[in-house]
Structure 1
Amino acid sequence: MQRLVHPIEQESFRRLRSRLDTSHFAPLTRAVVERVIHSAADLEYATDLVCDERTLETAHAALHAGAPVVVDVEMVAAGITRRETVCRLKEAVAGPGLTRSAHAVRLAYEQVGPGALWVIGCAPTALEELLLLNAEPALVIGLPVGFVGAAESKAALRDSGLPAVSNVSEKGGSAVAAAALNALLYTPVTTPTPLTKENA
């Protein structure tokens, strides 16, 4: 079913594009960049985000094929309205050297296994734990926010070689992480045009 776009959202994207030329981005990268900027009203994300079109294409296919979506906190889940998500923070407990967020990642991985899309917008320790698990994700949207550990955890994500969306600065948060996932959700799957004598 096609998503209905509210006129206010349409006008917001029109104004965004009037202030920032995004036409040079590849399609899915452009969708992610624009939706993240829209969620934060922050044009700096155009140069702060780090993502790769081929990685997004693979993740987009996995997402629309039904791969699980795991979030670190309920605030991220609240922003993803068109898909069920897994969040195990309520059952998680802190322990020696282990935050609740990190424990929640362990619990979620036990539930979903490899091949999930992980959306982390709050806790750097959740992202750090995910990097230790060898989780074989379809995608990690790693956009935790904060002055302690956020930029470092995102740098570690990029260094890991995992398929990822991240940003360089300390900025981030639940809204922008959910927006990055929504960009992939809202982009429809296109069916290749079959070859005919006319278009061969």
Structure 2
Amino acid sequence: MNRVIHPIEQESFRRLRARLDTSALAPLSRAVVERVIHSAADLDYAADLVLAEPDLVRAHAALHAGAPVVVDVEMVAAGITRRDTVCRLRDAVAGPGLTRSAHAVRLAHEQVGPGAVWVIGCAPTALEELLTLDADPALVIGLPVGFVGAAESKAALRASGLPAVSNVSEKGGSAVAAAALNALLYHPISTEEKP
């Protein structure tokens, strides 16, 4: 089913591209960068995001083949418009040395197993916990926000070698994390990716 793009969104992307030339980026990288910038009206994401086209190509194929999508909070899930998600935060409890977000990641991992796409836009502790698990993700969109642990958890994600979308700074959040995933969901399937 083709996505109908509202004229306001079309104009927003036109203005974005008038202010920032993204034409040199590979197709999926461009889609993610532009949609994240669009979601936050923040051109600085162009230099702040860290991503690799081969990771995005594999994740795009996995998503369109039905890989589960796990989110850290319902706010991320609310922003994902074309896919059901798994969020176990309501079932999680905090304990000694364990936040609710970290426990929710454990519960979700038990539910979905390997090959999922993980979208973390709120809790650095969720991202930290994911890195301790043998999740074998198709992709980790790690864009938690905050002054405590956000930049550090994203640096740990990059150091892990997992396929990932992250950013260097402390900024991030549910809207930008959802936007990064939506970019992959909205992008058409190329003939090379079809089974």
After TM superposition, is the score higher than 0.5? Answer: yes
What is the distance in 2 between the residues matched to 1:147 and 1:166? Answer: 16
Partners of 2:134 and 2:113 in 1: CA distance:
10
Q: After superposition, where does 1:96-175 map in structure 2 within 5 Å?
A: 96-175=96-175
Q: Can you list the C-alpha shifts for 1:22-53, whole angstroms capped at 9, x where unaligned?
A: 00100000000000000000000000000000
2:119 partner SS: strand
Q: Tell me the percent identity.
A: 85
Say which one has the larger Rg.
1
Q: In structure 2, what is the equivalent of residue 191 of structure 1?
A: 191
Provide the C-alpha distance between the structure 2 equivalents of 1:164 and 1:114, rounded to a whole number of angstroms: 15
Q: TM-score, normalised by structure 2?
A: 0.98
- SS for the counterpart of 2:85 is coil
Q: Provide structure 2 residue ranges, at least 5 long, that are not aligned to the other structure.
A: none
Q: What one-letter code is carried by the residue in structure 2 that aligns with 1:148?
A: V
1:7-46 matches, cutoff 5 A: 7-46=7-46
Distance 1:190 1:131 in 2: 31
Runs of 4+ aligned residues of structure 1 deviating over 2 Å after TM superposition are none
Letter of the aligned partner of 1:22 in structure 2?
Answer: T
Whole-Å separation in 2 of the counterparts to 1:15 and 1:74: 30
Provide the C-alpha distance between the structure 2 equivalents of 1:126 and 1:44, rounded to a whole number of angstroms: 25
1:68 match: 68
CA RMSD of aligned residues (A): 0.5
Q: Deviation at 1:191? A: 2.0
Structure 2 equivalent of residue 198 of structure 1: none
Return the letter of the residue paired with 1:65.
A
Give the TM-score normalised by the residue count of structure 1. 0.95
Instruction: Report the secondary structure of 1:119's partner residue.
Output: strand
Matched, 1:91 2:95: no
Separation in 2, partners of 1:177, 1:134: 22
Structure 1 residue 104 displacement after superposition? 0.1
Count of matched residue pairs: 192
1:70 deviates by 0.1
1:154 CA drift (Å): 0.1
Distance in 1 between the 2:97 and 2:190 partners?
46
**What is residue 48 of structure 1 aligned with on the other side?**
48
Deviations 1:32-86 (A, max 9, x none): 0000000000000000000000010000000000000000000000000110000
Q: Please give the alpha-carbon distance, in whole angstroms, between the structure 1 residues aligned to 2:52 and 2:190.
A: 19
**One-letter amino acid matched to 1:94:** A
